[in-house]
Amino acid sequence: MAGTVSTLAYVAKHRQRRSLGDPAWVRFGLIGVALLFAGLFLIVPLAAVFTEGFRNGVGAYFHAFADPDALAAIRLTFLAAGIAVPLNLVFGVAAAWAIAKFDFRGKALLISLIELPFAVSPVISGLIYVLLFGLQGWLGPYLGAGDHPWFGEWFNRQDIQIIFAVPGIVLATIFVTFPFVARELIPLMQAQGRDEELAAITLGANGWQTFSRVTVPNIKWGLFYGVVLCNARAMGEFGAVSVVSGHIRGETNTIPLHVEILYNEYNIQAAFAVASLLTLLALVTLVLKNLVEWRHRRIIEVAAAADIRQFTS
């Protein structure tokens, strides 16, 4: 009798262990593959960018940035991002607000439209602007100086160039980074619903007070995250900007385009040095993202700690 019981116990125990986890070689194998993959595809390239950049020493590294063309590219990148990000911040908040808090006809269409820049290849995004504003484009012929009966004298005197110029780069950047803020905010605002805003209104708050004191604090971390991602893309965009840029050195080159030119000229070290700037941007983005998440947790913890103090004192 006792023998039967102990056998049963043994079988049960054995089964339990088997069902609890996979064999050690499977677990370590999977972890190993994951680590190897991450190392090969993420860490090695990251390290390569910096080692190549510093290959000829610190002096050569910084020399790559002293080049006037490199400085112009950096300036233009910051300009394009500096215009595109604030505009998309405003557009994104407005679009997310409209979609999340109101019901209207064509809402589904608007959501699809916002996602469009993600669905379209960046090269095509650039081409759209060439087709629109290029010399042979739909609107191009009206932009240059000339005698167009539809427009006023002042407009006709202006020689507006969009393609192969800074405005084209800014427009292409706005287009490809349009969805970031809105996409981050729409699910967040939809989940939050309208009740808090309605509560603020019944308490006598006006539209601006409701927006600034109730809506914004509720979305600020999502908004910040959206802006950080939007900025990273705005500075790193290659395809769309490449099509509209015309690659005029010192004038219409952004950092990614400048890297390409350096690389094509076999100036590998300088190419990697400038590329490391974008890599740094990516790292800062990651740090900011983690900081945001950490801070959010921290606020709750601090509040809880203050609470405990209040009750123990």
Partner 1 sequence: MSIEARNISKHFGTYTALAGVSLKVESGRLTALLGPSGSGKTTLLRIIAGLEFPDAAADPAAGRVLFHGEDVSQVPAGRRGVGFVFQHYALFKHMSVFDNIAFGLTVRPGRTRPARADITRRVNELLQLVQLDRYGRRLPDQLSGGQRQRVALARALAMQPKVLLLDEPFGALDAQVRKELRRWLRQLHEQLHVTTVFVTHDQEEALELADEVVVMNQARIEQVGDPQTVYDRPASPFVIEFLGNVNRLATGEGRLHAPGQDVLYVRPHDVDIQRGHVDGHAIRARVLHVFSASNYGRVSLARADTGEHIEAEVPRYHLHELDLKQGDEVSVVFRHVRLFPRGEFTEADVRNGQLAVTRPGYTPAHGAGENI
Compare residues 171 and 214 and give the one whose CB is closer to partner 1.
214
Q: Give the residue, chosen from 104, 150, 311, 312, that forms a contact with partner 1 under the rule CB under 8 A.
A: 311
CB of 216 to partner 1, least distance (A): 10
SS (H, E, C) the chain: CHHHHHHHHHHHHHHHHHHHCCCHHHHHHHHHHHHHHHHHHHHHHHHHHHHHHCCCHHHHHHHHHHCHHHHHHHHHHHHHHHHHHHHHHHHHHHHHHHHHHCCCCCHHHHHHHHHHHHHCCHHHHHHHHHHHHCCCCCCHHHHCCCCCCCCCHHHHHCCCCCCCCHHHHHHHHHHHHCHHHHHHHHHHHHHHCCHHHHHHHHCCCCHHHHHHHHHHHHHHHHHHHHHHHHHHHHHHCCHHHHHHHCCCCCCCCCHHHHHHHHHHCCCHHHHHHHHHHHHHHHHHHHHHHHHHHHHHHHHHHHHHHHHHHHHHC
# of chain residues touching partner 1 (CB under 8 A): 23
CB of 210 to partner 1, least distance (A): 9
CB of 50 to partner 1, least distance (A): 40
Compare residues 26 and 198 and give the one whose CB is closer to partner 1.
198
Q: Give the residue, chosen from 11, 26, 38, 306, that forms a contact with partner 1 under the rule CB under 8 A.
A: 306
Q: Is 56 in the site for partner 1 (CB under 8 A)?
A: no
Positions in 276-305 near partner 1 (CB under 8 A):
300, 303-304
Compare residues 45 and 217 and give the one whose CB is closer to partner 1.
217
Q: Is 150 in the site for partner 1 (CB under 8 A)?
A: no
| CA-wise closest residue to 276 among 22, 20, 34, 45 | 45
CB of 207 to partner 1, least distance (A): 10
CB of 310 to partner 1, least distance (A): 6
Positions in 189-248 near partner 1 (CB under 8 A):
195-196, 198-206, 209, 213-214, 217-218
CB of 217 to partner 1, least distance (A): 4
Compare residues 67 and 196 and give the one whose CB is closer to partner 1.
196
CB of 220 to partner 1, least distance (A): 8
Report the interface residues with partner 1, using CB under 8 A.
Answer: 195-196, 198-206, 209, 213-214, 217-218, 300, 303-304, 306-307, 310-311
